[in-house]
Structure 1
Amino acid sequence: MSVNLSKGQKVSLSKSDGGALSVVRMGLGWQAARRKGFLARLTAREIDLDASAVLFAGQQPVDVVFFNHLVSDDGSVRHTGDNLVGGAGQGGDDESILVDLARVPVHVDQIVFTVNSFTGQTFQEVENAFCRLLDETNGQELARYSLSGGGSHTAQIMAKVFRSDGGWEMAALGAPAHGRTFEDLMPTIAAHL
């Protein structure tokens, strides 16, 4: 059963039987907002949103997974590939990042997921955008967070997966930011560690 998350809400990544999830997938989907008017449709550009995962040890970034570095140095986090146009919207994922929680090195205590508009459009030009967390072993959706709602920002700090006393948890952050790459977002990310 999936949980629709709101900004700031947390969810445990423990299974209902008390076991821990082993591999999770953070999926991202979006569509370009339909533009009204003949000329607007003619001048519409594709929207390239990019999902990234920044791995932290305390406050220090130690690795990043994104379209130009698809696998973390330790192999525990893997990006499935860049989608330049979106289109899944409410259906499947346009970009996905897989996290093998059991293989994440012990010094990594947080993984922050971001989405940014590489082509520079704002979220006012995006519709049906979401991120979701799935149990990769059985495909069950665990949590979903809607990124829609417009805004003049070009990026969002979507969510973070972090270690807690009882294992891993996920927190929906939904913090608007500005930037075309994860590097541009680092000052905003720092506020959520």
Structure 2
Amino acid sequence: MGISLQKGQKISLDKEAGGGLSRIVMGLGWDAATAKKSGMLGGLFGGGGGSSIDLDASCLLFDEQGNQLDAVWFRQLRSRDGSIQHTGDNRTGEGEGDDEQIKVDLSAVPANVKSLVFTVNNYTGQDFSQVANAFCRIVNGANNSEIARYDLSCQGSHNAMVMAKVYRHNNEWKMHAIGETGQGRTFEELLPQIKPHL
């Protein structure tokens, strides 16, 4: 198990991984919260129509000046330079482990990219009170060991979150657990909240 991050915490990914980190995976997992409302349980087992929960992980690439250079999300599963790959859209959160993953080849991220910001949006629109066991985690792509985990608070009326930033600092990659809640079905609606963190 990796380090359990608190909101606002910053860590060195290289140090936590024991050095030489070249590939990471950002994993996102969640379950639909069980509730007594009709339809919610149906959604858990795939028969509830509109009550399934579709969280979407995105990775946004920014330069030193805070300009967005690219975005990896369910409508574009690969960065234009090829260094970041989304494994694909999961629309239910069913099953164990990560429901969505974004794989990053840190050694191939272009030099003009200073920070990668990871967001999660509920495309189906429910707020996070209907989401259970949500987390994001960073895994060492070389050996699948978990470096850090950040549990996403499921209480509240938000349906989106700016999860974390992975950024270059003094020739090493660091991670900042941002954990800022917001509203929006896609990452574009979070951009005004992301800017102050760049």
**How many angstroms does 1:15 deviate by?**
4.4
Q: Distance in 1 between matches of 2:73 and 2:93?
A: 16
Deviations 1:9-52 (A, max 9, x none): 11111146863200000000000100115566456700000000
Q: Distance in 2 between matches of 1:48 and 1:186?
A: 20
Deviations 1:108-155 (A, max 9, x none): 000000000000000011000000000011000000000133110010
For 2:45, the equivalent position in structure 1 comes to: none
**How many angstroms does 1:191 deviate by?**
2.0
For 1:46, the equivalent position in structure 2 comes to: 52
TM-score, length of structure 1 as denominator length: 0.93
Question: Tell me, what secondary structure is at the counterpart of 1:55?
Answer: strand
**How many angstroms does 1:97 deviate by?**
0.3
Q: Distance in 2 between matches of 1:170 and 1:178?
A: 23
Deviations 1:37-95 (A, max 9, x none): 5566456700000000000002100000000100000001110000011124xx41000
Aligned length: 191
Alignment RMSD, CA only?
1.7
Matched, 1:35 2:53: no
1:148-167 matches, cutoff 5 A: 148-167=153-172
Matched, 1:68 2:81: no
Q: Distance in 2 between matches of 1:16 and 1:149?
A: 27
Q: Distance in 2 between matches of 1:94 and 1:148?
A: 17
1:21 partner amino acid:
L
Q: Distance in 1 between matches of 2:17 and 2:86?
A: 29
TM-score, length of structure 2 as denominator length: 0.91
Q: Distance in 2 between matches of 1:16 and 1:129?
A: 22
Judging by fraction of residues, say which structure has more helix.
2
Which consecutive unaligned segments of at least 5 residues does structure 2 have?
Answer: 43-47
| 8 A Cα contact 2:59 2:71, kept in partner | yes
Q: Distance in 2 between matches of 1:54 and 1:171?
A: 14
